[in-house]
Amino acid sequence: MAVEVRLPNIFRPVAAGRASVRAEGATVGEVFEDLVRQYPELRASLLTPEGELHRHLNVFVNDDDIRYLGKLDAKVNDEDIVTLMPAVAGGA
Amino acid sequence: MLSRPLWERMVAHCLDGLPLEACGLLAGRPGAEAGSVEVLEAYPARNAAGSARLYTVEPVDLLRADRDAEARGWSLVGVWHSHTHTEAFPSPTDIAQAPDPDWHYVLVSLRDLEPSLRSYRIVGQDVAEEEVLVRGWCSPAR
């Protein structure tokens, strides 16, 4: 499966400034492996050292949050759009 | 720079959220001056943290705001949230979790009777306040 991965501003410098890139895989985890193969510097922003989904990263397949689709096991289909967005959080 | 209705929407959303922290996202485009921004939309969001001292923008609200901004030719340029008990200055948590050095981080303090709205840029550990101009008001909003 080939999908479009939309990158937030802060990830774009490692992808030559591109707002979206292509990656392959049948699950989000596989798409991430392909992304890391292409852009090794992205790994620390996507995954924990143990290989889990980074807790400050939101990932959507089309309009759906992968936390409700099996996280890294979430399935993707050809031409799906995978959107990466850093969590927006803070507090007093 | 933002309009008075957007300023009021941001403050009203923070008051509506009490006693919990409230948050939302700002969309716009670069302003005339370097580093400035013209805020053209303010999207109230749900606080997924459900806390009086922490906020996390509900992820789906973040996605929707981003999509809407993009469809209108703008981009997300910042976030606002309330401080229910403290002044309108970024907390250590705000600074540690600020994801984007290009964003504008707006704080609405509800500590005093009159809400206070201020805006900051956060680059690494460096925090710099910036002027907030509300169209139709002749002085910076505080």
Q: What is the pLDDT of residue B34?
A: 86
- Residue B142, domain member (yes or no): no
**Quick one: CA torsion of A1, B61, B123, A22, rounded to 10 degrees?**
10
Q: Which two tokens stand for residue B28?
A: 């716009």
Tell me the ipTM for this assembly.
0.88
The secondary structure of chain A as a DSSP string is -EEEEE--GGGGGGGTT-SEEEEE-SBHHHHHHHHHHH-GGGHHHHB-TTSPBPTTEEEEETTEEGGGTTGGG-B--TT-EEEEEE--EE--
Could you tell me the residue ranges of all domains in chain A?
Answer: 2-86
Q: Decide if A85 and B59 are in contact by the 8 Å CB cutoff.
A: yes
* pLDDT tens sequence across B65-107: 999 999 999 999 999 999 999 999 999 989 988 878 899 999 9
Q: Tens of pLDDT along A38-52?
A: 999 999 999 999 999
Whether residue B140 is contained in a domain is answered as no
Percent of chain B as helix, strand, coil, to the nearest 5: 25, 35, 40
Does CATH place domain A2-86 in 3.40.190.10?
no
Q: Which of B97, B107, B111, B120 to mutate to test the interface with A (most CBs of A within 10 A)?
A: B97
CATH number for the domain including B92?
A: 3.40.140.10
Provide the 8-state DSSP code for B31.
-
CA pair distance A87, B87, nearest whole angstrom: 23
Answer yes or no: do A88 and B56 touch at CB < 8 A.
yes
Judged by CB atoms closer than 8 Å, whether chains meet at B83 and A92 is answered as yes
> How many structural domains compose chain B?
1
Q: Which pLDDT belongs to residue A59?
A: 98
Identify whether B141 is part of a domain: no
Domain containing B9 equals 2-135
- Joined together, the tokens standing for residue B107 give 């704080």
pLDDT band at B32 (very low <50, low <70, confident <90, very high): confident
Q: What is the pLDDT at residue B99?
A: 77
Q: Using pLDDT thresholds of 50, 70 and 90, give the confidence band for residue B135.
A: confident
B140 confidence band (pLDDT: 50, 70, 90): low
Q: Which of residues 5-64 of A touch B (CB under 8 A)?
A: 8-10, 56, 58, 60, 63
